[in-house]
Amino acid sequence: MWTPCGRADGNANSPRQSQFALDDLIDIPTDFSLYSTALKKFSQGMERPMYRNFRIVPNIIFGRGSFNQLDDVLKDRRVTADSWMVFVVDDVFTGKPLEGRFPLRGRDLLLWVNVDDEPKTRYIDELVARIRAYSPTAPAGIAGIGGGSAMDIAKAVSLMLNNPGSSADYQGWDLIKNPAVYHVAVPTLAGTGAEISRTTILTGPEKKLGINSDYTLYDQILLDPELLAGVPKNQWFYTGMDCYIHDVESLNGTFINEFSKAYGEKSRDLCREVFLDDSPAKDDKLMMASYFGGMSIAYSQVGACHALSYGLSYVLGIHHGVGCCIAFDQLEEIYPEGVQEFRQMMEKHDIPLPRNLTKDLDSASMEKMVTTALNLVPLWENCLGPDWANIMTRERAMELYKKM
């Protein structure tokens, strides 16, 4: 039997508390050796625990119809007659009523982006080149409008406009040297937490990895629940489950603390109201659940489901929310209550879960998925503790993937 996820006792003398200074938000860590060195020093009595002083999005507007305030928000950045903005928008809205509400002015550039596939570094570089070719002067701001992928694209573009080279050069932790162009997010889906995270997840030529930096954070977000109306049911569910799974992984992890617990419990309760009680205010509640879920993992970590989902996404190109649901369904031994509740939610909303996706994969592809997942060391330690590698062996990870 696998060891279920444990919980940290909250003791300030616990060695793992030093993790908070070094392991940052959500999805993909890169320099675990730094953490390991600090942890070893602390366990030997050489250092006191260090807690991360993390940034959050400084300006937030929430409310139905708040999209109409985007023009006022951007107006403050239009400091000269030549100031211009870039609107990075999911192309699903092409020709839709929302397009007519974009507050375009003067030389503003409307940049439709395609998110049929998850964002790639090559695509980011192409978009940055188009913006630079459009004008010799930098834009005064970037407005990202769409779901998690569109918001990640807008974040990456805002970073790369002020930093040289390819976006692939910055996949990692705190590699960005120059602040981003001012950027604003308007989510039209809720669940990923991309609107408040310090990462922008990209697939590069060698890896799927975030650009993790305090500069990645949005300067402003507008949370308008009206924009969730009309989202296809399956997409609404899969994206919302990303949030629910954030909560389960955070609340049942060894890195849990009262800060993360407070946000995670509220987010989980809101998800239950949305997906089990079918609250009439479900769009408003899901938008806030996404925000609180992101705050919960900001000071803890995700776990087994997200680690496995990255293998699925990297090898098969499966979208993040769908991949999380596929992986989570196989993790009842680790998250028994969460998986059972997840299945109730699926049944209530009649959601189909893709099956047998790995049955025809060759051994090299299967091994690549396992390697991708097991490289995410802090996620596994949060889930299974410091002895995680003896619990989640390559063989066990392979068994899980074969069930997907």
DSSP of 117-160: S--BHHHHHHHHHHHHHH-SSPPSEEEEEESHHHHHHHHHHHHH
Cα–Cα dist 154/139, whole Å: 13
Q: For residue 44, what pLDDT band results from cuts at 50, 70 and 90?
A: low
What is the arithmetic mean of pLDDT over 230-258? 97
- Asked whether 323 and 201 are in contact (CB, 8 A), the reply is no
* Residues sharing a CB contact under 8 Å with residue 132, sequence separation 6 or more, in sequence order: 161
pTM over 0.75: yes
Cα–Cα dist 338/245, whole Å: 8
Closest CA to 153 of 175, 124, 184: 124
Q: How many CA atoms lie within 13 A of 181 on its CB side?
A: 29
Cα–Cα dist 366/329, whole Å: 19
What is the arithmetic mean of pLDDT over 157-161? 99
What is the arithmetic mean of pLDDT over 315-324? 95
Quick one: tokens of 73? 């928000």
Quick one: tokens of 64? 């139905």
- Asked whether 5 and 383 are in contact (CB, 8 A), the reply is yes
Predicted confidence (pLDDT) at residue 263 exceeds the cutoff of 70: yes
Distances (CA, A) of 186 to 78, 143, 154, 224: 19, 7, 11, 8
Q: For residue 45, what pLDDT band results from cuts at 50, 70 and 90?
A: low
The C-alpha torsion from 330 through 331 and 332 to 336, rounded to 10°, is -150
pLDDT digits (tens, 9 = 90+) for 391-400: 999 999 999 9
- Asked whether 313 and 323 are in contact (CB, 8 A), the reply is yes
Predicted confidence (pLDDT) at residue 244 exceeds the cutoff of 70: yes
Distances (CA, A) of 187 to 118, 190, 227: 16, 7, 8
What is the arithmetic mean of pLDDT over 353-372? 96
Q: For residue 309, what pLDDT band results from cuts at 50, 70 and 90?
A: very high
By CB atoms closer than 10 A (0-12, 13-18, 19+), residue 350 is exposed
pLDDT digits (tens, 9 = 90+) for 126-153: 999 999 999 999 999 999 999 999 999 9
In 14-97, the DSSP E strands lie at 59-62, 85-90
Between 258 and 33, the higher pLDDT residue: 258
What is the edge-to-edge ordering of all strands in the sheet holding 109-113? 59-62, 220-223, 183-187, 141-146, 85-90, 109-113
| pLDDT (0 to 100) of residue 4 | 40
* Residues sharing a CB contact under 8 Å with residue 92, sequence separation 6 or more, in sequence order: 115, 146
Between 48 and 143, the higher pLDDT residue: 143
Distances (CA, A) of 138 to 142, 159, 256: 10, 12, 42
Domain annotation for the chain: domains and CATH numbers = 15-54+234-402 (1.20.1090.10), 66-223 (3.40.50.1970)
By CB atoms closer than 10 A (0-12, 13-18, 19+), residue 361 is middle
Distances (CA, A) of 383 to 112, 227, 372, 379: 39, 34, 17, 6
Length of the chain as a residue count: 404
Predicted confidence (pLDDT) at residue 16 exceeds the cutoff of 60: no
pLDDT digits (tens, 9 = 90+) for 63-88: 999 999 999 999 999 999 999 999 99
* Ordered DSSP codes for 202-216: EE-SS-EEEEE-GGG
User: Angle, nearest 10°, between helix axes 304-316 and 233-251?
Assistant: 140
What residues pair up with 184 in beta bridges, in sequence order? Answer: 143, 220
